[in-house]
Structure 1
Amino acid sequence: MPERKSLVGAPCWIDLSSSDLSRAVPFYTGLFGWSCDTNEDPQYGGYAIFSKDGEPVAGIMKQDEENPYGDVWTVYLESTDAAATAEAATPAGGQVIMPAMQVGDQGSMAILTDPAGAVIGVWQPGQHRGFGRWGEPGTPAWFETLSRDYRAALPFYETVFGWTLNPMGDDDEFRYSQARIGGENIAGLMDASGFLPAEVPSFWRWYVAVPDADAAVSTVLELGGSVAGPAEDSPYGRVATVADPLGAQFQIVAMRDE
């Protein structure tokens, strides 16, 4: 599997806030062949790590009862200084939901929203470097934010995370930019103001690679999940939008061979 490069400003970790770990954990281990190990140290509050072939791919934790977002995945962008990144968010039009905090010897984190309201995590690696592999079955493959305020979000990510943005389309039919860091395409930003339902805020989503999207959709249903968007072909592979049994959505993609 391709090894993930450490790139400041790029996605480096994802985790799930779940209302029922006893249902969520077997769903993901059954769907992707992940293993799940819980850190028994009380300072980590039962946080568990999903691994694929010995490499960390994602985290899962019990949802805080006061969490207003429900069962949801959070994407984290890498930082050399989580506190400085959080401090830069407000002047750039974002908000700080959770100020930078140390997570034992694992690293430091903060939770922000961008100017469009999309929640984005910040991770400053310590012992925990983030997901180790990407772009192969059972590992993260892509990240993007669907934005209700595309024009405000663009400069936020340029300023706070050092993105260089490459527009791929800029009309009412398709308005999308790819973010580049160090010559690598690392994420996307889509103008979703024209198609998101009124009750759905801006959000980040992530894609996990699978060998066969249609087979994965069938397995999602067998394991008690649901399908929000059936598998369909795209320029980058066959993609579907699915959710676990508690409603946390994510994308699956059978990537095209280069």
Structure 2
Amino acid sequence: MVRITETRPGTPCWFEHGSADPAAAQRYYGELFGWRGETDPRPEAMCYTVMYQGEAPVAAVAPLVADGQPTAWSVSIAAEDVDAAAEAARAGGGQVLAGPMEALDLGRFAVVADPAGAVFGLWHGRAFPGVALFAEPGAPGWIELATRDVAGAVGFYSDLFGWSVNPGEQYTQWGLDGTDFGGVLDMGEQFPADLPPYWMPYFAAADVDLAAERALGLGGDAVLPPTDVPDGPRLAVLKDPLGAVFGLYQPEA
């Protein structure tokens, strides 16, 4: 279990549920993980709600802001200089979809798509650095990119963030300074042909089977039921009642 006390550039730092029904999302994840929400009262914050596990911020729920935007989880990566990172992403074949811009007094951000179209955020925190609990039950612990261009993704993100690459037969992992925190999954025939590449978070669970059962009982669906991964953790992939996909995994003791 790791309690994050300092956000390092190049590491996942925030997780946001963009929701067509923020109140329903808060109820679902509150009951699933025991999260409590605190909504920013400032009008310009647009009802942005930070979700806490105990006293630690672990994620957020926010209303949708663009026409056609689906309800989905998004992942943000910490950047020392958001403007420079956004420009580097553009130079590497990606697109800058929003920003860079200020987020009130909290920090500076941009929304970027990689060359295959997977969307992620860049964040430089000031008043708000980001997630404060990692790899503990109810907190995020892993990020995963699903893409049809694994080689292109490995090159793009390694160049952009300096991530190390730990290739496997079926799954490639990423990390920094010897610690892996994410991976890339090849979107094979099991994925619908019209499904675009995407990032999603995994949240740690003390018991994946019990957590998945609870998630389904609250109205979610199973994309991948609890499964033992060879040389990896037990995990499940779920869809919440609003359609957002997320994972559960059981950290090693």
Q: TM-score over 0.5 for the alignment?
A: yes
| Distance of 2:35 and 2:108 partners within structure 1 | 25
Alpha-carbon shift at residue 40 of structure 1 (Å): 0.4
| Distance of 1:256 and 1:236 partners within structure 2 | 9
Report the 3-state secondary structure (helix = DSSP H, G, I; strand = E; otherwise coil) of the residue aligned with 2:250. Answer: strand
Letter in 1 for 2:210: A
Alpha-carbon shift at residue 7 of structure 1 (Å): 2.0
Counting only pairs closer than 5 Å after superposition, residues 1-258 of structure 1 correspond to structure 2 as: 1-4=1-4, 5-66=6-67, 68-169=68-169, 174=170, 176-234=171-229, 235-257=231-253
Kept after mapping to 2: 8 A contact 1:100/1:108: yes
| Distance of 2:23 and 2:111 partners within structure 1 | 26
| Distance of 2:167 and 2:213 partners within structure 1 | 35
Alpha-carbon shift at residue 82 of structure 1 (Å): 0.8
Alpha-carbon shift at residue 89 of structure 1 (Å): 1.1
| 1:155-178 Cα deviation digits (max 9, x unpaired) | 211222221222223xxxx2x322
- Structure 1 segments of 4 or more deviating over 3 A? none
| Distance of 2:228 and 2:176 partners within structure 1 | 28
User: How many residues are treated as equivalent by the alignment?
Assistant: 251
TM-score normalised to structure 2 length: 0.94
Kept after mapping to 1: 8 A contact 2:89/2:95: yes
Report the 3-state secondary structure (helix = DSSP H, G, I; strand = E; otherwise coil) of the residue aligned with 2:144. Answer: strand
Letter in 1 for 2:14: W
TM-score normalised to structure 1 length: 0.92
Letter in 2 for 1:225: G
Kept after mapping to 1: 8 A contact 2:141/2:181: no
Alpha-carbon shift at residue 65 of structure 1 (Å): 5.0
Kept after mapping to 2: 8 A contact 1:150/1:191: yes
| Distance of 1:182 and 1:125 partners within structure 2 | 21
- CA pair 193-94 structure 1, distance change in 2 beyond 3 A: farther
Alpha-carbon shift at residue 192 of structure 1 (Å): 2.2
Kept after mapping to 2: 8 A contact 1:231/1:239: yes
Report the 3-state secondary structure (helix = DSSP H, G, I; strand = E; otherwise coil) of the residue aligned with 1:255. Answer: coil
Letter in 2 for 1:220: A
Kept after mapping to 2: 8 A contact 1:115/1:149: no
Structure 1 vs Structure 2: percent identity of aligned residues?
35
| Distance of 2:218 and 2:235 partners within structure 1 | 19
Alpha-carbon shift at residue 43 of structure 1 (Å): 2.1
Letter in 2 for 1:10: T
Kept after mapping to 2: 8 A contact 1:7/1:181: no
Q: Tell me, which stretches of 5 or more residues in structure 1 are unaligned?
A: none
Alpha-carbon shift at residue 2 of structure 1 (Å): 1.9
| Distance of 2:202 and 2:211 partners within structure 1 | 13
